[in-house]
Protein backbone atom coordinates (compact mmCIF):
# COMPACT_ATOMS: atom_id res chain seq x y z
CA UNK A 1 0.00 0.00 0.00
CA UNK A 2 2.80 2.44 0.84
CA UNK A 3 4.36 1.84 -2.56
CA UNK A 4 1.07 2.58 -4.30
CA UNK A 5 0.63 5.75 -2.26
CA UNK A 6 4.10 6.96 -3.21
CA UNK A 7 3.33 6.35 -6.89
CA UNK A 8 0.06 8.24 -6.50
CA UNK A 9 1.88 11.14 -4.88
CA UNK A 10 4.40 11.34 -7.72
CA UNK A 11 1.72 11.01 -10.39
CA UNK A 12 -0.39 13.81 -8.94
CA UNK A 13 2.62 16.00 -8.20
CA UNK A 14 3.78 15.58 -11.81
CA UNK A 15 0.39 16.79 -13.05
CA UNK A 16 0.43 19.78 -10.69
CA UNK A 17 4.03 20.72 -11.52
CA UNK A 18 3.24 20.44 -15.24
CA UNK A 19 -0.01 22.40 -15.15
CA UNK A 20 0.66 24.97 -12.44
CA UNK A 21 4.43 25.18 -12.17
CA UNK A 22 6.71 24.45 -9.23
CA UNK A 23 6.10 27.63 -7.26
CA UNK A 24 2.31 27.41 -7.52
CA UNK A 25 2.26 23.78 -6.41
CA UNK A 26 2.02 23.59 -2.64
CA UNK A 27 2.26 20.58 -0.38
CA UNK A 28 -1.39 21.20 0.49
CA UNK A 29 -2.40 20.91 -3.16
CA UNK A 30 -0.41 17.71 -3.59
CA UNK A 31 -1.97 16.18 -0.48
CA UNK A 32 -5.44 17.22 -1.59
CA UNK A 33 -4.94 15.68 -5.04
CA UNK A 34 -3.77 12.43 -3.48
CA UNK A 35 -6.56 12.42 -0.92
CA UNK A 36 -4.42 12.43 2.22
CA UNK A 37 -3.48 14.96 4.89
CA UNK A 38 -0.50 17.24 4.30
CA UNK A 39 1.21 15.80 7.39
CA UNK A 40 0.90 12.32 5.90
CA UNK A 41 2.98 13.34 2.88
CA UNK A 42 6.09 13.49 5.01
CA UNK A 43 5.93 9.75 5.59
CA UNK A 44 6.79 9.42 1.89
CA UNK A 45 8.77 12.55 0.97
CA UNK A 46 10.99 14.97 2.85
CA UNK A 47 10.06 18.14 0.94
CA UNK A 48 8.47 19.52 -2.22
CA UNK A 49 11.92 20.09 -3.70
CA UNK A 50 12.96 16.50 -3.02
CA UNK A 51 9.76 15.28 -4.67
CA UNK A 52 10.38 17.50 -7.69
CA UNK A 53 13.89 16.15 -8.16
CA UNK A 54 12.75 12.56 -7.76
CA UNK A 55 10.21 13.06 -10.54
CA UNK A 56 12.70 14.97 -12.67
CA UNK A 57 15.38 12.30 -12.34
CA UNK A 58 12.97 9.51 -13.27
CA UNK A 59 11.86 11.38 -16.40
CA UNK A 60 15.46 12.25 -17.23
CA UNK A 61 16.37 8.57 -16.97
CA UNK A 62 13.46 7.63 -19.25
CA UNK A 63 14.55 10.24 -21.79
CA UNK A 64 18.16 9.06 -21.71
CA UNK A 65 17.13 5.42 -22.21
CA UNK A 66 14.83 6.40 -25.06
CA UNK A 67 17.53 8.35 -26.88
CA UNK A 68 20.06 5.55 -26.37
CA UNK A 69 17.56 3.13 -27.88
CA UNK A 70 16.94 5.42 -30.84
CA UNK A 71 20.68 5.79 -31.39
CA UNK A 72 21.12 2.03 -31.25
CA UNK A 73 18.19 1.41 -33.62
CA UNK A 74 19.74 3.74 -36.19
CA UNK A 75 23.37 2.61 -35.94
CA UNK A 76 23.37 0.92 -39.37
CA UNK A 77 21.90 3.90 -41.23
CA UNK A 78 23.95 6.27 -43.33
CA UNK A 79 24.61 9.60 -41.55
CA UNK A 80 21.94 11.64 -43.41
CA UNK A 81 19.21 9.06 -42.78
CA UNK A 82 20.35 8.62 -39.20
CA UNK A 83 20.27 12.33 -38.41
CA UNK A 84 16.78 12.60 -39.85
CA UNK A 85 15.61 9.52 -37.95
CA UNK A 86 16.92 10.94 -34.67
CA UNK A 87 15.37 14.31 -35.47
CA UNK A 88 11.96 12.80 -36.17
CA UNK A 89 11.95 10.36 -33.25
CA UNK A 90 12.85 13.12 -30.81
CA UNK A 91 10.02 15.32 -32.05
CA UNK A 92 7.40 12.58 -32.25
CA UNK A 93 8.23 10.72 -29.03
CA UNK A 94 5.92 12.90 -26.93
CA UNK A 95 3.25 13.14 -29.65
CA UNK A 96 2.21 9.49 -29.46
CA UNK A 97 -1.46 9.40 -28.43
CA UNK A 98 -1.03 5.90 -27.00
CA UNK A 99 1.14 7.32 -24.24
CA UNK A 100 -1.46 8.57 -21.79
CA UNK A 101 1.02 10.54 -19.71
CA UNK A 102 2.82 12.03 -22.73
CA UNK A 103 1.03 15.44 -22.64
CA UNK A 104 1.73 15.82 -18.91
CA UNK A 105 5.38 14.83 -19.25
CA UNK A 106 5.68 17.15 -22.21
CA UNK A 107 4.21 20.05 -20.23
CA UNK A 108 6.53 19.26 -17.32
CA UNK A 109 9.62 19.42 -19.56
CA UNK A 110 8.52 22.68 -21.17
CA UNK A 111 8.02 24.32 -17.78
CA UNK A 112 11.26 22.91 -16.38
CA UNK A 113 13.39 24.02 -19.35
CA UNK A 114 11.71 27.25 -20.47
CA UNK A 115 10.21 28.47 -17.20
CA UNK A 116 12.40 26.90 -14.51
CA UNK A 117 11.73 27.62 -10.83
CA UNK A 118 13.97 30.48 -9.73
CA UNK A 119 15.50 28.53 -6.84
CA UNK A 120 16.21 25.48 -9.01
CA UNK A 121 17.09 27.22 -12.28
CA UNK A 122 20.87 26.90 -12.19
CA UNK A 123 20.83 23.26 -11.16
CA UNK A 124 18.16 22.38 -13.71
CA UNK A 125 19.90 24.05 -16.61
CA UNK A 126 23.27 22.57 -15.66
CA UNK A 127 21.81 19.07 -15.56
CA UNK A 128 20.12 19.59 -18.91
CA UNK A 129 23.34 20.94 -20.43
CA UNK A 130 25.41 18.01 -19.16
CA UNK A 131 22.83 15.54 -20.43
CA UNK A 132 22.70 17.07 -23.88
CA UNK A 133 26.48 17.41 -24.09
CA UNK A 134 26.80 13.64 -23.65
CA UNK A 135 24.24 13.00 -26.36
CA UNK A 136 25.78 15.76 -28.45
CA UNK A 137 29.04 13.81 -28.61
CA UNK A 138 27.14 11.00 -30.33
CA UNK A 139 25.56 13.41 -32.78
CA UNK A 140 28.93 14.95 -33.48
CA UNK A 141 30.33 11.54 -34.44
CA UNK A 142 27.49 11.06 -36.93
CA UNK A 143 28.10 14.47 -38.48
CA UNK A 144 31.86 13.93 -38.70
CA UNK A 145 31.27 10.54 -40.32
CA UNK A 146 28.94 12.17 -42.84
CA UNK A 147 31.57 14.78 -43.70
CA UNK A 148 34.23 12.08 -44.20
CA UNK A 149 31.92 10.20 -46.55
CA UNK A 150 31.16 13.35 -48.54
CA UNK A 151 27.48 13.13 -47.60
CA UNK A 152 27.58 16.30 -45.50
CA UNK A 153 29.37 19.41 -46.71
CA UNK A 154 32.78 20.26 -45.27
CA UNK A 155 32.06 22.72 -42.52
CA UNK A 156 32.48 23.03 -38.78
CA UNK A 157 30.77 19.99 -37.19
CA UNK A 158 30.08 22.15 -34.14
CA UNK A 159 28.20 24.73 -36.23
CA UNK A 160 26.23 22.05 -38.05
CA UNK A 161 25.27 20.49 -34.73
CA UNK A 162 24.28 23.89 -33.32
CA UNK A 163 22.01 24.47 -36.32
CA UNK A 164 20.59 20.97 -35.87
CA UNK A 165 19.78 21.60 -32.21
CA UNK A 166 18.36 25.06 -32.95
CA UNK A 167 16.05 23.68 -35.60
CA UNK A 168 14.98 20.70 -33.50
CA UNK A 169 14.22 22.69 -30.35
CA UNK A 170 12.53 25.47 -32.28
CA UNK A 171 10.22 23.03 -34.03
CA UNK A 172 9.63 21.18 -30.76
CA UNK A 173 8.42 24.41 -29.17
CA UNK A 174 6.20 25.28 -32.14
CA UNK A 175 4.66 21.83 -32.27
CA UNK A 176 3.86 21.82 -28.57
CA UNK A 177 2.60 25.38 -28.30
CA UNK A 178 1.04 26.30 -31.64
CA UNK A 179 0.63 23.01 -33.52
CA UNK A 180 -0.63 20.68 -30.80
CA UNK A 181 -4.01 20.30 -32.54
CA UNK A 182 -2.47 18.93 -35.74
CA UNK A 183 -2.88 15.25 -36.50
CA UNK A 184 0.14 12.94 -36.35
CA UNK A 185 0.18 12.83 -40.14
CA UNK A 186 0.22 16.62 -40.35
CA UNK A 187 3.04 16.84 -37.79
CA UNK A 188 5.09 14.29 -39.72
CA UNK A 189 4.54 16.33 -42.88
CA UNK A 190 5.82 19.46 -41.09
CA UNK A 191 8.87 17.58 -39.86
CA UNK A 192 9.60 16.28 -43.37
CA UNK A 193 9.39 19.74 -44.93
CA UNK A 194 11.48 21.42 -42.25
CA UNK A 195 14.13 18.72 -42.49
CA UNK A 196 14.20 18.97 -46.29
CA UNK A 197 15.02 22.67 -46.07
CA UNK A 198 17.72 22.04 -43.45
CA UNK A 199 19.24 19.23 -45.45
CA UNK A 200 19.51 21.44 -48.54
CA UNK A 201 21.91 23.57 -46.50
CA UNK A 202 24.20 20.84 -45.17
CA UNK A 203 24.13 18.25 -47.95
CA UNK A 204 27.48 17.37 -49.42
CA UNK A 205 27.96 18.66 -52.96
The CA-atom distances, in angstroms, between 171 and each of 91, 158, 180, 195 are 8, 20, 12, 10
* pLDDT score of 99: 53
| Tens-place pLDDT, residues 25-77 | 999 999 999 999 998 999 999 999 999 999 999 999 988 889 999 999 999 99
The CA-atom distances, in angstroms, between 137 and each of 61, 68, 110, 198 are 18, 12, 24, 20
Whether 1-45 shares its CATH topology with 52-202 is answered: no
Provide the β-strand partners of residue 152: 203
The top-level CATH class assigned to 1-45 is mainly alpha
Question: What b-and-e string marks burial along 85-108, b requiring 16 or more CB atoms within 10 Å of the CB?
Answer: ebbbbbbebbbeeeeeeeebbbbb
* 25 burial via Cβ count (<10 Å: 0-12, 13-18, 19+): buried
Task: Enumerate the domain spans of the chain.
Answer: 1-45, 52-202
Q: Do the beta carbons of residue 151 and residue 78 sit within 8 Å?
A: yes
Whole-model pTM: value is 0.83
Q: Do the beta carbons of residue 64 and residue 35 sit within 8 Å?
A: no
| Tens-place pLDDT, residues 85-123 | 999 999 887 544 445 567 888 889 888 888 888 999 999
Confidence of residue 179 (pLDDT cuts 50, 70, 90): confident
Provide the β-strand partners of residue 203: 152
Q: What count of other Cβ atoms lies within 10 Å of the Cβ of residue 141? A: 12
- The answer to whether residue 1 scores a pLDDT higher than 90 is no
- In the chain, the percentage of residues whose pLDDT exceeds 90 is 58
- DSSP per residue over 101-135, as a string? THHHHHHHHHHHHHS--GGGHHHHHHHHHHHHHHH
Q: How large is the average pLDDT for residues 161-170?
A: 92
Q: What CATH number labels 52-202?
A: 1.10.357
Amino acid sequence: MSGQTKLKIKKNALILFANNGYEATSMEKIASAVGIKKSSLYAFITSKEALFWEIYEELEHQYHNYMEQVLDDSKNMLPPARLYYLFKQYLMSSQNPSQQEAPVVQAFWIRAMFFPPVDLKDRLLMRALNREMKLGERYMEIIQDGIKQGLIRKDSPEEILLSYYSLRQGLYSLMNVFMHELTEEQKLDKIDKVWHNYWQGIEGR
